[in-house]
């Protein structure tokens, strides 16, 4: 579930092999927050915050090149955060210790795969702490966007659903629904207003396409809006096309937010 910046595609490393655990990444990189402030902020523009959650075995700093796609004017006041997951033993890799937001029991991940709900809820608290820090710094929740790939996509979904306020949006790439039980009663009315963009490669053999397809019906039952995009010939990766779509999707919502305040 690692992403590596290889123009024009972000693609994962070898699928969940023990070799992932041997990837050499410095501890200082893995545990720093990866906060990137806008270089030339415009005080007249609305400030926004984009939080990116990486996949299993990866790190936040390794995903920072993603922000280079966001060059249009509406992102001039966008602050980014690329946090890194803590090291934990992962069951699908025979207990190997690697950066992981929560435990994953099997690969490939399908609709019926077992879920680590307790681990997910714990990770959500950490994500919410990052959001709250930004809200306290003056950013409106409606201008905060959560995005994530694979395991980070599943955590993005959980974090959006369990946050008590309406966020700008949640973007899920090659993710899945990380719950075994219903959480509908835990989703606030405000959280249900947060729009979701869900993108998944049809040829994904790590998080099966069926796992992604299960997302929109799950969200519709809760009463949430979800735009689902399927990408033919795309495996467990993020394409340039997906990222360009994300730029437009977030940009339109930022522009809408600006118009509300005018």
What positions carry a catalytic annotation?
Answer: 150, 204, 236
Say how far apart CA 51 and CA 155 lie, in whole Å.
12
The residue behind tokens 């629904």 is 177
Cα(239)–Cα(10) distance, integer angstroms: 6
Burial class (CB within 10 angstroms; exposed 0-12, middle 13-18, buried 19+) of 233: exposed
Instruction: Work out the angle at residue 139's Cα, subtended by the Cα atoms of residues 189 and 76, and round it to the nearest 5 degrees.
Output: 125
For residue 194, which of 155, 215, 223, 235 has the smallest C-alpha distance? Answer: 223
- Total residue length of the chain: 262
Task: Tell me which residue of 170, 153, 144, 161 sits closest to 254, measured CA to CA.
Answer: 144
């Amino acid at each position: 579930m690692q992403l590596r910046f290889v123009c024009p595609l972000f693609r994962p490393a070898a699928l969940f092999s023990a070799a992932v655990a041997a990837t050499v990444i410095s501890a200082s990189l893995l545990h720093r927050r990866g906060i990137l402030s806008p270089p030339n902020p415009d005080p007249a523009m609305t400030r926004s915050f984009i939080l990116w959650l990486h996949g299993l075995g990866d790190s936040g700093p390794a995903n920072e090149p993603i922000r280079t796609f966001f060059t249009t004017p509406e992102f001039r006041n966008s602050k980014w955060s690329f946090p890194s997951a803590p090291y934990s033993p992962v069951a699908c890799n025979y207990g190997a210790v690697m950066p992981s937001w929560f435990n994953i029991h099997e690969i490939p991940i399908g609709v019926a795969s077992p879920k680590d709900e307790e681990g997910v809820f714990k990770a959500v608290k950490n994500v919410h702490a990052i959001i709250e820090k930004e809200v306290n710094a003056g950013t409106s929740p409606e201008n905060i966007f959560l995005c994530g790939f694979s395991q980070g996509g599943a955590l993005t979904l959980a974090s959006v659903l369990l946050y008590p306020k309406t966020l700008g949006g949640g973007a899920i790439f090659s993710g899945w629904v990380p719950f075994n039980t219903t959480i509908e009663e835990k989703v606030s009315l405000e959280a249900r207003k947060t729009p979701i963009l869900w993108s998944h490669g049809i040829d994904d053999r790590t998080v099966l396409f069926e796992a992604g397809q299960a997302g929109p019906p799950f969200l519709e039952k809760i009463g949430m809006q979800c735009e689902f995009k399927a990408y033919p010939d795309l495996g467990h990766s993020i394409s340039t096309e997906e990222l360009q779509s994300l730029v437009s999707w977030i940009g339109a919502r930022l522009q809408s937010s600006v118009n509300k305040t005018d």
